Amino acid sequence: MADTIDRTALQQFLLRMGDNTLILGHRVSEWCGHAPVLEEDIALANTALDLIGQTQLWLDYAAEVEGAGRSADDLAFLRDVWDFRNVLLVELPNGDFGQTLMRQFLYDAWASIMLGRLQKSADERVREIAEKAAKENAYHVERSADTVVGLGDGTEESHRRMQAALDYLYPYVGELFESDATDAAMVEAGVAPDPAGLREDYDALVGRVMADATLRLPEKAYVHRGGRSGTMHTEHLGHLLCTMQWLQRAYPGCRW
Amino acid sequence: MSSVNPSAYPDTDSDAAPPRKEWPLWEIFIRGQHGMSHRHVGSLHAPDSEMAIKNARDVYTRRNEGVSIWAVESRHIAATVPSEKGPMFEPSESKVYRHPTFYDIPDEVGHM
C-alpha cells in the first residue's frame, strides 16, 4: 500500500495523528497527582496512557514510512517545535480541571469520528491502529462528555467555568477540519477521509452534548491554525517540549 | 441491642445528613475473568451510579481484572456490628461436626 502512494504525505498524515495523541497525552499526564479527587486522578492517568500508547503505534508507522532510520522515540523526543504537526488545541495549557475536560471532549469527539472513518482505510496498518484506538476513545469520549455535562449543568461556578473554557477553546476547533494537499493525497489514496467532511457529524455530537450541558457554543468563532501544517505553534508547545524532552536532551540515548 | 447495623455507614445517609460537598461512597464488586461471583474489591467516591461504574473501571480494572462491575452505595449496605461479634459468630466455633470432613468421599464422585 505505502509503496504506491506519496510517502511524504503519508508520513505527514501519520505525524499529525501521532503528534495529536502525544501532545494531548503529555498534557493530560500533567494532572497526575494533582487532580481534584483520587478517582479522577487515576482516570486521567489512564487516558494519558491510552493516548501515549496510540502515539507509539502512529509514530512507529511514521518512522517506518519515513525510512530514515529514526524510531518513534526519536520522533517524540528529538524533534523541535517546528517539526510537530499536532493541532493547536491539544498543546494549550490545562487551565482548571473543567478546561482540561472541555479540551478533552472537543478532541475526543473529533477522534471518535475520525477513528471511525479510518477503520475503513485502504491502508491495513492505519485500519489496525484505528480499530485499537477507537475502543479506547469510545470510553474517553463517554467519560469526557459526561463530565462536561455534569460540570456545565452543575453549580453556578462550574457552569461559569465550563462556559469560559468553551469560549476559550472553541476557536481552536476549526483547525481539526482544515484540508490541504496532504489531506488530498490521503483521500486520493483512500487512506484517510477529508477532514472537512467530518464537520457535520462533529457539530451534531458537540451540539447535543453542549445542549445537555446548558452551554452556549460561540458563534462564528475565529479559527486559530498553524499546528497541523507546522507553520506556527503557540508559545505553549516549546515549554511542553522542554519538560517532555529534557531527559533525552540532557542525557542523549539514555535508557532505563 | 441489635446485632445488625441497618446502615454500615450512617454518616453518608443523605436523608438525615445536611447537604455535603463530598460525593457519596460506593462499594465496588468485580467479577473476575474466571470467577463466577462478584467480589468486593474496595470503595470509591462518585457523584452518581454511572460515574461510580466509570470510576470503578478506571480504579479497579486497569490491569484487566474484570468482566463485570457492580457498584452499591455504601449506605445501602447492612452490616453486623463489630461489638456483637461474640454472640454472632462464637457459637459456631465449637461445632466442628458442621464441617463435612467426617465423610469418606468415593473417588468416582470426583471433584466436589
Q: Which of A39, A146, A150 sits opposite B58 (nearest CB)?
A: A39
- Is B51 an 8 Å CB contact of chain A? yes
In a domain, B13, yes or no: no
**Residue B9 confidence (pLDDT):** 58
Is pLDDT above 70 for B17?
Answer: no
| B88 occurs within a structural domain | yes
Chain B residue whose CA is closest to A145: B51
Asked whether residue B60 is assigned to any structural domain, the reply reads yes
- Looking at the complex, report in whole angstroms how far the Cα of residue B59 sits from the nearest Cα belonging to chain A: 6
Average of per-residue pLDDT across A88-109? 97
**Window from A122-131, A158-167, A187-196, B100-109 with minimum mean pLDDT:** B100-109
Question: Among A17, A38, A41, which Cα is nearest to A134's?
Answer: A17
Q: Is B81 on the interface with A (CB under 8 A)?
A: no
- The answer to whether position B16 is within a domain reads no
* Residue B1 pLDDT greater than 80, yes or no: no
Candidates B23, B45, B55; nearest CB to A43: B55
Partnered with residue B28 across adjacent β-strands are B42, B71
Q: How far is B36 from chain A (nearest CA, A)?
A: 26
Q: What is the least distance, in Å, from the CA of A46 to any CA of chain B?
A: 7
Residue B59 lies in a domain: yes
Q: How far is A44 from chain B (nearest CA, A)?
A: 9
Q: Report if residue B37 sits inside a domain.
A: yes
B50·A143 Cβ contact <8 A: no
- Give pLDDT, residue B35: 77
Instruction: pLDDT band for A153, please (50, 70, 90 cuts).
Output: very high
In a domain, B86, yes or no: yes
pTM: 0.86
| Dihedrals phi, psi of A89, to nearest 5 degrees | -50, -45
pLDDT band for position B2 (50/70/90)?
Answer: low
What confidence tier does B8 reach under pLDDT thresholds 50, 70, 90? Answer: low
pLDDT tens for each residue of A65-96: 999 999 999 999 999 999 999 999 999 999 99
pLDDT-derived band at A2, boundaries 50, 70, 90: very low
Q: How far apart are CA A34 and CA A194, in angstroms?
A: 38
pLDDT of the residue at B19: 61
- Total tally of structural domains belonging to chain B: 1
What CATH number does the domain containing B97 carry? 3.10.20.520
pLDDT at A11 over 80: yes
**All three cell numbers of A186:** 490521503
Distance separating alpha carbons of residues A221 and A211, to the nearest angstrom = 18
Which phi-psi region, left, alpha or beta, contains residue A67 (left: φ > 0; alpha: ψ -120 to 50)?
left
Residue B112 within any structural domain of the chain: no
The answer, for B46 touching chain A at a CB cutoff of 8 Å, is: yes
Q: Kind of pairing, strands B25-32 and B4-5?
A: unpaired
Q: What is the mean pLDDT of residues A229-248?
A: 96
Residue ranges making up the domain that contains B94: 22-106
A198: confidence class by pLDDT, cuts 50, 70, 90 = very high
Task: Please say if the pLDDT value at position B20 is more than 90.
Answer: no
pLDDT value of residue A77: 96
CB A62 within 8 A of CB A70: no
Searching chain A, which residue's CA lies closest to the CA of residue B52? A39
Section A180-194 average pLDDT:
96
A 19-78: CB under 8 A from B:
37-39, 42-43, 46
Judged against a pLDDT cut of 80, whether residue A15 lies above it is answered with yes
Which strands form B25-32's sheet, in the order they lie side by side?
A: B38-45, B25-32, B66-73
Average pLDDT, chain A: 95
Secondary structure (3-state) at B45: strand
- pLDDT per position as a tens digit, B60-88: 998 888 899 999 999 999 988 888 888 88
